[in-house]
Structure 1
């Protein structure tokens, strides 16, 4: 869940074909204004806690600006098209041995989505993920998330099929190992896409899946949860990098959705971990919701060792 107080735009109108089949967020939308009022009311009772929340909500991803060549896959304004994904930027990385696909979270416009993907590449380079000075290629997956919370969750579910289709096509047409990174609400896009891949029997399309500050319920990744069976089915490790310093998840997400986020404290204590799933506590490395992928600031050095990016 990214900054709930950033710039807004008109949402892509959700329709019945876009929502995932067993969860409907069409009722009880929570706008940013209501979300922030709820947060302010809740933390007001806790005195100094309000300062930390306000500080967290004003964070950014380090201020890195991507070049126009940053490769992106976008579904913005295209979900009703015959082919909802479009490639933009430069895709001149034929010499790379493996590729990372980065799925952003809430409140990212097209420019922010591009900048975040570029930041992830810089973070991987700083973490020593490859001998290349610029790090391994990172392709950004850009979707309409710069809307209010309820519509954003519907748009996340609506991107399940396009993301699954693109990943499967990459496996068939290119074949190089593809590591999927998902930040914040991007974890919902990813979980829904994994379900699609599992339903189709395309469980070998990814080399790894990593959630960073995942804004999904902490029981949804358990064996009996919404995404548990898909996580168990995927033929790749699934890592959940979580931080208790992430106050956007610890405060705002909990107030808005009435549950704990997997990106804050990991899998719910009452749930069982599916095969292939691993919680990785990065509280000692990650100071806020925005720094998971930042060079020198985030947890990518620890992530690289587990993921096996070379």
Structure 2
């Protein structure tokens, strides 16, 4: 099984006149490839997946696969739902598009038990047995935590479940997982703690900030996995103010605004119920961005 590890970007989804801006999307993915990212992640939280139609969802994955073809950059696509049957359809759709692997967010809103989570993920993963599969734990969004014991059970029982994107913000959780199962591929899902997660045995990151700074984010991963902790920490520290301001409002509001400010997307459009940042927060984002050199398309 060809698993995906290393640096990955939770891609924004650019819109123009209310529709998917396919040309800009392809250009953004090319920029990720050119700046050393190991993988791109279409249709995740940062990609406003909750507001995309099934056709748009599929098209985003198709574009990512098309652009990454012939490069070393992989496609790690989002394929989750609070309905197990819908998540199975999403996983099969992703497989048909030719993605390299998928990550599936914990079922939000319904608040399942740990056994419910186990059965949910077992059903999805077994529906695409040849597709590498990552769990995605983000309790701040889903109001349910995939506990360490459940993750370990899924990793032990289901052959294609190889890792987890951990967005609890907890280093202790990462250590709990890796001390029990060193072969589990744990990704940092919180930009501010990418370096310490990797230094404690993490296998990669899925970053919001790397939409804007793929060069530095990919470098943190390369340096840390090579054992150059001093240099990696220095970059992580340098990026802290930017990582922080990217969450001054709900993701992906700030990162999309930052991409617009940087001239990386032509229009600043969101899907309701998301709106542009407040005037005050827009100024904060602009001010912080002045401290960084942002590479163009």
TM bracket, shorter-chain basis: 0.3 to 0.5
TM-score, with structure 1 as normaliser? 0.37
The structure with the greater share of residues assigned to helix is 2
